Amino acid sequence: MFWPTLAGGGVERIGLRVARALSEKGYSVDIVVANARGELAGGIPPGVSLVNLRIPLGSGRLFLCLFPLAQYLRTRRPDVLWSNMTEANVIAILARMAAGSRCWLIVSERNTLSVRIRGQNLRKRVLPFLVGRLYPLADRIHAVSLGVADDLAKTTGLPREQIRVVYNPDVDADLSIKAEEPVDHPWFAPGEPPVVLGVGRLVAQKDFPTLIRAFALVHKERPTRLVILGEGEERSKLEALARELGLEQDIDLPGFVENPYKYMKRAAVFVLSSRWEGFGNVLVEAMALGTPVVSTDCPNGPAEILENGKWGELVPVGETQSLASAVLRTLDRVDVVRVKGAAERADQFRVESIIREYFCALFPERLEYVYRRQT
């Protein structure tokens, strides 16, 4: 499995979860990264090997992985190379060619490409061209949602029928176990005002400024607090906004936490405020833990997860008032039946079920045969 770093994002969390599940089924799994830095550097599952290519990452430097990855393929000779994220996928295809390897290659698209490249530099704008020419050389093209698959085909000219969709495996036994761990944050103590929770990297994609402004409107109507878990380049901007609104005593940004699930379990409502996504892992995780959810109807993933609002409020992207109103409705009228249905919906994204789909839809037939014999 190949991706750039061990940062604390959804790609890496899901990747570690899949690696552990495959290893537990008896497969030999290597996680190959350009650079082993990141919040999840200590989270390599038992039995899984970490291969650190030690590339000094920065703007445009991921392509320095090409020949080290090719050397890995020649030396290790894996049966399957599974790459994740657009730039890494391009490198994986070129590395397989350079190595003369015959390994089965899966490339996974995990975000909405057209939105990612909007207004970006030349390197980003050439991605659709590279993807359209190179992805067909892979054995399987994988997207994590129907919306991502549709967008990938439209943006690059790839035939839609070549793209296979398998959702992310977001629910496993560890989720419930970690959710029961104690929380030492005083705002989650019994008798305290309800907490609105957001989780994600502090970057423009997640649009936490809209969440903070919406929270300001909610806070005027009833005593509430806002906690945003994550770290990133927009921290100072978000802290300044909280001060500007006079809410620095009611908004907390604790940074990256290894276990966000214990906070999710105890939050009054979970909010995803993103401008765009690939899937929306945190929505599924919150739903599985019985926490009511509110999400922007961003491209792509949330509408598919929530089945167009059946299991949680969906609001337009960037609309502060709509988001505030949805949070207030959710706080004031917690629909127990809806929350229970959301938990049952989240159960469809269990690791065991999704791993089975991976073998049927993405892996070579010989591995699917072995897997069916095992199960």
Q: Parse the chain into domains and list their residue ranges.
A: 2-169+350-374, 173-348
Q: What pLDDT sits at residue 369?
A: 65
The DSSP code sequence of 210-278 is: HHHHHHHHHHHHS--EEEEE---TTHHHHHHHHHHTT-TTTEEEEE--S--HHHHHH-SEEEE--S--S
Q: What pLDDT sits at residue 336?
A: 87
Instruction: Please provide the average confidence, as pLDDT, over all residues in the chain.
Output: 94
User: What is d(CA 41, CA 12) in angstroms, rounded to the nearest whole number?
Assistant: 10
- Please check whether the two domains, 2-169+350-374 and 173-348, share a CATH topology: yes
Contact 6, 14 (CB under 8 A): no
Assigned CATH for 173-348: 3.40.50.2000
Q: Is the pLDDT of residue 107 over 80?
A: yes
User: What is d(CA 97, CA 82) in angstroms, rounded to the nearest whole number?
Assistant: 15
User: What is d(CA 12, CA 15) in angstroms, rounded to the nearest whole number?
Assistant: 5
Query: Per residue in 62-96, pLDDT tens?
Result: 899 999 999 999 999 999 999 999 999 999 999 99
Query: Per residue in 333-362, pLDDT tens?
Result: 888 889 999 999 999 999 999 999 999 999
Q: What does DSSP assign to residue 290?
A: T
Q: C-alpha angle 38/12/278, rounded to 5°?
A: 125
User: What is d(CA 315, CA 297) in angstroms, rounded to the nearest whole number?
Assistant: 6
Task: Report the SS3 class of residue 356.
Answer: helix
Q: What pLDDT sits at residue 129?
A: 93
Measured distance between the N- and C-terminal CA atoms of the chain, rounded to whole angstroms:
23
Q: What pLDDT sits at residue 58?
A: 73
Cα–Cα nearest to 77, from 97, 102, 59: 102
CATH number of 2-169+350-374: 3.40.50.2000, 1.20.120.1760, 3.40.50.720, 2.130.10.10? 3.40.50.2000
User: What is d(CA 79, CA 146) in angstroms, rounded to the nearest whole number?
Assistant: 28
The DSSP code sequence of 343-355 is: HHHHGGGBHHHHH
Q: What pLDDT sits at residue 123?
A: 62
Query: Per residue in 110-161, pLDDT tens?
Result: 999 999 888 767 767 789 999 999 999 999 999 999 999 999 999 999 999 9
pTM: 0.93
Query: What count of other Cβ atoms lies within 10 Å of the Cβ of residue 31?
Result: 21
Q: What pLDDT sits at residue 59?
A: 63
How much of the chain exceeds pLDDT 90, in percent?
Answer: 89
Q: Is the pLDDT of residue 248 over 70?
A: yes
